[in-house]
Amino acid sequence: MIALIDCNSFYASCEQVFRPDLKGKPVVVLSNNDGCVIAANSEAKALTDIPMFEPVFKIKDQLLNNGVTFFSSNYTLYGEMSDRVMRILQEFSPLVEIYSIDESFIDLSGMECQDLRAYGIAIRDRIMRYTGLPVGVGIAPTKVLAKLANRRAKKEEGNDHVFVIDSEEKRIDTLHWAKIKDVWGIGRKHTKRIQDTGKYSAFDFTQLPLSWVRKHMTVVGERTWRELQGENCLPLEHSPKPKKAIGTAKSFGKKLKKLSLIEEACSYYINEVSEVLRSQDCCAKYLKIFLETNYHSEHDRQYYNSITVTLEVPTNNTFILNTEGKKALHQIFKPGYRYKKVGVCLSGIVPKEYVQTNLFASTYEKVGLMEAFDRINQKFGKTTLAPALMDTRKINQWELIKEERSPRYTTQWKEVLCVK
DNA sequence: TCTGGGGTCCTAGGACCC
DNA sequence: TCTGGGGTCCTAGGACCC
């Protein structure tokens, strides 16, 4: 058996943990740049029908009139709260697959004879007691069924956020209960295609011939179909796989026309992604830089361009990547546009001990330089050392807007909650 | 005026190899 | 006149996830 543990309205719940005055009140969390709603707690969802990813400016009045509290996203806080939850889960199973910031699959094989519902309740209660975060627990023989069980745990009254599929009757019953779009792995496009054949429940989907599923939804759809019948096709991952691509691209706080400021942001992102790359002991062969204007805006002239640089020798050196990135950016930058976003993406990622060197390469790396660079930044703070191109004093000229960010309660001494 | 960010997997088609 | 057979690698596009 597999359990899926998922935090309820995770970002909003994290904010509420440190603001007990907001208990039982509507809370929403906004995306970067305070652009869209990305999380809303049940009170906020109940109050108004808040569509996720709706631009905030369109619904701000509606939210304010209903006394909803807003937060800008505070990923430092959410990431650290997530670590706490995942550590607790390790007390319940030797195998925990962290699937995302707010959910994990855990292996319960060998425990089938136990009272799994009681076990699920114990997980739910311990996480609440240790972190203050509410979670839902779904337990079933496969991942896709565990996802459905988790959904039912939360949505159906009387389950107290724990639901177990441990018999054929419960499996069939849950498949009838679930709509097609509730199935993990079936998104908007496939839902529509399936509904066009006159099928509406997850059960109906399992009655479609496999040949149809295979033809229209490839092998990915076939796995989902099989998992719903109780056949395991998606094994738990024992260890996190190294990333195949590492990228970052954020909208500027305001539209930028000047190349020099875009350069700053670009070097900042390169610094960030190369640090992630080094943390997994890898090097990258390709560096992609892209630049874009605001495609939502009708009156602005539009421009998008990207360039992928093939590095002579795969590297994770911030300085080499910065030099290459700057050259690439100069090639695609065209004056006269109001730019909204610059992005960088590293790919062709290989473990650093397998890097294929090049006899004629002109780059020369100082051994140990980046290790020292990272250690100093870990000890004294994120940008204690940075390439000169990245002028941290100018950051406010392009950085994202986060007007309502809560304190970083758990990671900054100066921001620790004070109890009187 | 203001519209998120970071990923994965699969397939088809083209270019190329011997 | 007749024009093979077995591959790999890369990219773009589509679908999905949180």
Which window residues (138-177, chain A) lie with Cβ within 7 Å of strand C? 147
> Is A187's CB less than 7 Å from nucleic acid strand C?
yes
Instruction: List the A211 CA – C10 C1' distance (angstroms).
Output: 30
Complete DSSP assignment for A232-260: --SPPPSSPPPPSEEEEEEEEEEEE--HH
3-state secondary structure of A289: strand
Work out the number of other CB atoms within 10 angstroms of the CB of residue A113. 6
> Is A102's CB less than 7 Å from nucleic acid strand C?
yes
What is the C-alpha to C-alpha distance for residues A28 and A15, in angstroms, rounded to an integer?
9
pLDDT mean over A344-363: 78
Please say if the pLDDT value at position A273 is more than 70. Answer: yes
Taking CA atoms, A283 is separated from A41, A244, A264, A272, in Å, by: 40, 11, 23, 14
3-state secondary structure of A358: coil
pLDDT confidence tier of residue A352, bands split at 50, 70 and 90: confident
Contact between residue A321 and residue A309 where contact means Cβ atoms under 8 Å apart: no
User: Of A246, A242, A252, A235, which Cα lies nearest the Cα of A275?
Assistant: A246
What is the C-alpha to C-alpha distance for residues A408 and A414, in angstroms, rounded to an integer?
9
Contact between residue A101 and residue A79 where contact means Cβ atoms under 8 Å apart: yes
A105 or A43: which leads in pLDDT:
A105
pLDDT for residue A46 = 84
Give the range among A94-98, A311-315, A395-399 with minimum mean pLDDT. A395-399
pLDDT for residue A176 = 97
**Helix orientation angle between A75-89 and A116-131, rounded to the nearest 10 degrees:** 140
The C-alpha angle A306, A308, A313, rounded to 5 degrees, equals: 160
**Helix orientation angle between A259-279 and A318-332, rounded to the nearest 10 degrees:** 140
What is the C-alpha to C-alpha distance for residues A68 and A50, in angstroms, rounded to an integer?
11
A58 or A159: which leads in pLDDT:
A159
The whole-chain average pLDDT of chain A stands at 90
pLDDT for residue A62 = 84
Instruction: List the A353 CA – C15 C1' distance (angstroms).
Output: 34
Instruction: List the A111 CA – B5 C1' distance (angstroms).
Output: 38
Residue type, A144: V
Give the range among A29-38, A128-137, A206-215, A351-360 with minimum mean pLDDT. A351-360
What is the C-alpha to C-alpha distance for residues A202 and A225, in angstroms, rounded to an integer?
9
Instruction: List the A225 CA – C14 C1' distance (angstroms).
Output: 20
Please say if the pLDDT value at position A106 is more than 90. Answer: yes
Which window residues (299-328, chain A) lie with Cβ within 7 Å of strand C? 308
Locate A160 and state its tokens: 């107290």
What is the C-alpha to C-alpha distance for residues A49 and A189, in angstroms, rounded to an integer?
23
pLDDT mean over A382-404: 80
Please say if the pLDDT value at position A307 is more than 90. Answer: no
**From the C1' of C17, which residue's alpha carbon is nearest?**
A185
pLDDT for residue A130 = 97
pLDDT for residue A362 = 62
Work out the number of other CB atoms within 10 angstroms of the CB of residue A121. 15
pLDDT confidence tier of residue A363, bands split at 50, 70 and 90: low
Q: pLDDT digit string (tens) for A189-202?
A: 999 999 998 989 99
pLDDT mean over A145-151: 97
pLDDT confidence tier of residue A360, bands split at 50, 70 and 90: low
Q: pLDDT digit string (tens) for A4-61?
A: 999 999 999 999 999 999 999 999 999 888 888 899 998 888 876 777 778 888 888 8
What is the C-alpha to C-alpha distance for residues A12 and A5, in angstroms, rounded to an integer?
17
pLDDT for residue A162 = 98
- The distance from CA A282 to its chain's CA centroid, rounded to whole angstroms, is 21
Please say if the pLDDT value at position A406 is more than 70. Answer: yes
> Is A384's CB less than 7 Å from nucleic acid strand C?
no
pLDDT mean over A70-76: 91
Strand B: residues with CB below 7 A = A 31-33, 35-36, 38, 53, 55, 57, 218-220, 241, 243-251, 255, 276, 294, 296-297, 340-341, 343, 345, 400
User: Of A80, A10, A60, which Cα lies nearest the Cα of A39?
Assistant: A10
- Helix (H) or strand (E) holding A14, with range, is helix A10-17
The owner of tokens 């400021």 is: A261
Strand nucleotide closest to residue A216 (CA to C1'): C15
pLDDT for residue A64 = 85
A402 or A210: which leads in pLDDT:
A210
User: Of A341, A365, A338, A340, which Cα lies nearest the Cα of A283?
Assistant: A365
pLDDT for residue A361 = 67
The C-alpha angle A82, A87, A92, rounded to 5 degrees, equals: 125
- Return positions of chain C under 7 A from a protein CB: 11, 14-18
- Nearest-Å Rg of the Cα atoms of chain A is 24
% chain A with pLDDT above 70: 98
Please say if the pLDDT value at position A120 is more than 70. Answer: yes
